[in-house]
Amino acid sequence: MKKTHRGSCHCGAVRFECEVDLSAGTTRCNCSFCRKARFWMALVRDADFRVLEGKDALTDYRHTPAGMAEPFLHLTFCSRCGVRPFSSGGMLPQLGSPFYAVNVACLDDVSDEELSATPIHRADGRNRDWEASPEHGEYL
């Protein structure tokens, strides 16, 4: 069931809220960026996401995956503390809308018990097969 969650970056300059059902699953990916950043994401429709404070503190890194002509992902960071509380992207077929990838670790109102119970899909982003799990993905 969708629930409204609030989140922030480490220093609190960036604050957001979103409606997300964590029990529906989250993702950890082995693409070069997510692996290095240890990004743990929950995908939400753009209509279910709001920046509450700190738009002026965000820095945008645009990523263009191999084989794509235009940037698909906007990897946003707090310019003060460096934490990436969320990213955004274009049309995502499974959501039927543009999306936000919320950093689950940045959700301030989720308990350790809830995080421990949250299902995690390990995605093989390295091979651009996000539905498949990598052969060795336990580290994600």
Quickly state the pLDDT bin for 64 (edges 50, 70, 90): low
Quickly state the pLDDT bin for 17 (edges 50, 70, 90): very high
Closest CA to 120 of 1, 22, 49: 22
Would you say residue 71 has pLDDT above 60?
A: no
Rank 33-42, 52-61, 70-79 by mean pLDDT and report only the highest: 52-61
Distance CA 52, CA 63 (A): 24
pLDDT score recorded for residue 123? 77
Q: What is the CATH number of domain 3-122?
A: 2.170.150.70
Beta strand ranges found along 37-130 (DSSP E): 40-45, 49-53, 58-63, 73-78, 86-92, 97-103, 120-123
At CA 48, angle to CA 42 and CA 52, rounded to 5?
A: 95
Would you say residue 24 has pLDDT above 70?
A: yes
State the chain's mean pLDDT as an integer.
88
DSSP conformational letter for 13: S
